[in-house]
Amino acid sequence: MGVWQSDKGMSFRVWAPNAQRVSVVGDFDGWDWNRNEMMRDDHGCWFVEVADAKYGQQYRFEISDGENRFTRVDPYARSVTNSVGNGILTDLSFDWGDDSFQLSPRNEIVIYEMHIGTFNVKEPGKTSNFDAAIEKLDHLVSLGINVVEVMPCSEFAGDLSWGYNPAHVFAIEEAYGGPLALKRFVKACHSRGIGVLLDVVYNHFGPSDLSLWQFDGWSENGKGGIYFYNDWKSATPWGETRPDYGRPEVRRFIVDNARYWLKEFRLDGLRLDMTLYIRHVTGNDDPGGELAEGWSLTQEINDMVDREFSGKLTIAEDLQNSDRLTQSTSDRGAGFDLQWDARFVHPIRRLVCSPSDEDRSTEVLKAAATASYNGDPFQRVIYSESHDEVANGKARVTTEIDAQHPDGWYARKRSTLAAAIAFTSPGVPMLFQGQEMLEDEWFRDTDPIDWSKEKSFAGVLRMYRDLIHLRLNKRNNTKGLTGSGFAVIYEHHDDRVIAFHRWHSGGIGDDVLVVVNLSAEKRVDVLVPMPQAGKWNVQFNSDWKGYSEDFGDYASEPFIECQSVGQVVPFDIAPYSAQIIVLT
């Protein structure tokens, strides 16, 4: 479907099974619907070749259903003038150079979720774009990030949006620079060793500025027509615009879209927004509300990705703690590689945001750290901030801790403690943009990242950099943090101190010990039985003054000699702090 260049000019094809007549109109024919009437096949698709059509020209389909005549934007349009404008014939040719980027294994990636529109705004009241975002990629390289997850960038209503209201799912938002700007962004990321994942929205379209609505004039019950359910299954929290997953043409449209991002833009994976509303008609996951054709659509997408794009990832935002999402399709699962983990983010946020130490439990931390799907902790994405968790009535962790002083001692200590837990727990860790610079308040599409905080909170930024470098074993002494091995070796409920052992294969440069203090009191001589004999070295202390002048620099001795497995060693640890100790 859509438009492609042929020997005879441009070929146009569109699905409109209930139309009586269809023409393509545009700059190439003076918008005269008599000039390029299309021919219909037996499947309700219309086709025409136009010799005079050229790249850069605008176009639409003009449709008659026998009683009315109206125009629609090409559902497969690669560019549009704006969400209520025209399609643009777009040459997607691009010089990728020697780009041959491959993602690291799942246990060796750290994700940075970003919103292009607010990431690097140059003028107040304006939006950022892909080219502006490229200017800040070296910040991410320095931080140690090796994957970015871009919030939706399909054309949406207006210039400011989170992106979860896609009006034209194949067109890149013009305010972000259009399709070639996305390609420049991907190429720039790849050249710096950063993979790019894209957030896509298939649980609903629109709901506004939606040219797909009653596309060929037909509908039932006043609903959306051929691209949508026309009964009670149309309802979603975002409008009556759930796609009809049971129609083969609609399924193909969505699968084509997923393929388009990975093939045309060389993206490294997709994150599917709120898959619960693809596979289910309500938000409570009760068996009676299952949508079988939605479930099978997720399987079809994931099978296509596995078959055609080996090594690329798919991530589900489902948040129902179901192993089925990341089970293989051969085992009747949905086939996603990863899913966002509600069992981590919600308890960890409560753990650090509660005003009372009485609410901080080592048992809660242990349960969050050890959760997995199908026995594999690297089927989950773990985080303390995401676009959803810092909006919709919630805020950044710093603001949740202390709304009056989000840059104060308590906010800094406990928000970074949440990050330290994420980076030392088994799973794929993720940050939300600005988290590393202590961004506060809540996320909104009118509030850009404050890049002055890169200097004012340079110490906190350094802490995040150190945590990421340790998580990715960049110093060749923390391979255990890339492994799935996890065992609690010390736990004191009343003191709110826990120590856990992390390992990949075990041994020097692999075994890691993590000690966490969830209380406002420093703890002295915490007697921890060591998991291995040898020389242990404190590599990280979140209370170090280099991270903030008002931190206490309170920690254990930098080197610890252990003569035998199980030997008890005393540790000192500061309030709301974490230490990472490695076998050297």
**CATH number of the domain to which 485 belongs:** 2.60.40.1180
**Taking all residues of the chain, what is their mean pLDDT, rounded to a whole number?**
96
Q: Quick one: how far is CA 348 from the chain centroid? A: 19
Contact 233, 291 (CB under 8 A): yes
Domain that holds residue 538: 479-583
What pLDDT, on the 0 to 100 scale, is given for residue 124? 84
Instruction: Report pLDDT digits (tens) over 262-275.
Output: 999 999 999 999 99
Domain count, the chain: 2
- How far apart are alpha carbons 183 and 189 in whole angstroms? 10
Residue 285 has pLDDT above 80, yes or no: no
Residue 45 in domain: yes
Predicted pLDDT at 472? 98
Is the pLDDT at 557 greater than 90? The verdict is no
What are the distances in angstroms from CA 44 to CA 20, 39, 229? 10, 10, 18
Q: Which of 72, 90, 111 is the last residue of a domain?
A: 72
Burial class (CB in 10 A: 0-12, 13-18, 19+), 418: buried
Rounded Cα distance, 357 and 413, in Å:
13
Residue 431, in any domain of the structure: no
Contact 576, 413 (CB under 8 A): yes
Does residue 518 belong to any structural domain of this protein? yes
Residue 50 has pLDDT above 90, yes or no: yes
SS (H, E, C) 293-309: HHHHHHHHHHHHHHHHC
- Quick one: average pLDDT of 338-367? 97
For residue 49, give the H/E element and its range. Answer: strand 45-50
What span, in angstroms and rounded, lies between the C-alpha atoms of 87 and 209?
A: 13
pLDDT at residue 283, rounded to an integer: 79
DSSP string, 154-174: EEESSS---S-SEEEEEEEPG
Express as a percent the part of the chain with pLDDT over 70: 100
Return the higher-pLDDT residue of 114 and 6. 114
pLDDT (average), residues 469-490 = 97
Tell me if 61 is assigned to some domain.
yes
Is the pLDDT at 7 greater than 90? The verdict is no
Residue 375 domain-assigned? no
pLDDT of residue 504: 98
80-138 tens-digit pLDDT: 999 999 999 999 999 999 999 999 999 999 999 999 999 999 888 889 999 999 999 99
Handedness of CA 211, 215, 219, 225 (dihedral sign): negative
β-bridge pairing 2-6 and 9-15: antiparallel
Structure tokens at 255: 């699968």
pLDDT-derived band at 308, boundaries 50, 70, 90: very high
Domain membership flag for residue 264: no
* For range 167-184, the mean pLDDT: 97
Q: Which residue has the higher pLDDT, 488 or 126?
A: 488
Q: Where is pLDDT greater, at 8 or 76?
A: 76
Last residue of some domain: 72, 92, 115?
72
Mind giving me the DSSP string for 127-139? Answer: ---HHHHHTTHHH
List helix spans (H) across 315-457.
342-353, 362-370, 397-401, 409-424, 453-456
Please tell me the distance from the alpha carbon of residue 368 to that of residue 212, in angstroms, as a whole number: 42
Mean pLDDT of 374-387: 98
pLDDT of res. 287: 77
Per-residue confidence (pLDDT) for residue 166, from 0 to 100? 97
**pLDDT bucket at 516, cuts 50 / 70 / 90:** very high
pLDDT digit string, tens, across residues 392-424: 899 999 999 999 999 999 999 999 999 999 999
CATH of the domain at 53: 2.60.40.10
Helix (H, G, I), strand (E, B) or coil at 581: strand
Placement of tokens 């693809």 in the chain: 278
The answer to whether 30 and 6 have CB atoms below 8 angstroms apart is no
- pLDDT above 80: residue 468: yes
C-alpha span between 53 and 76 (Å, rounded): 17
Q: Is the peptide bond preceding residue 207 cis, with omega within 30 degrees of 0? A: yes
pLDDT (average), residues 437-450: 95
One-letter amino acid of 253: F
Strand runs (DSSP E) across 417-563, as ranges? Answer: 428-432, 485-492, 497-503, 512-517, 523-529, 534-541, 559-562
Among 72, 88, 123, give the residue marking a domain's end.
72
CB 47 within 8 A of CB 41: yes
Amino acid 411: pLDDT: 97
The two structure tokens encoding residue 389: 């968790």
Is 29 within a domain? yes
198-251 per-position pLDDT tens digit = 999 999 999 999 999 999 999 999 999 999 999 999 999 999 999 999 999 999
Residue 48 forms part of a structural domain: yes
Query: What would the mean pLDDT of 535-548 be, rounded to a whole number?
Result: 97
Give me the residue label for tokens 């060793």.
Answer: 193
Over 80: is that where the pLDDT of 288 sits?
no
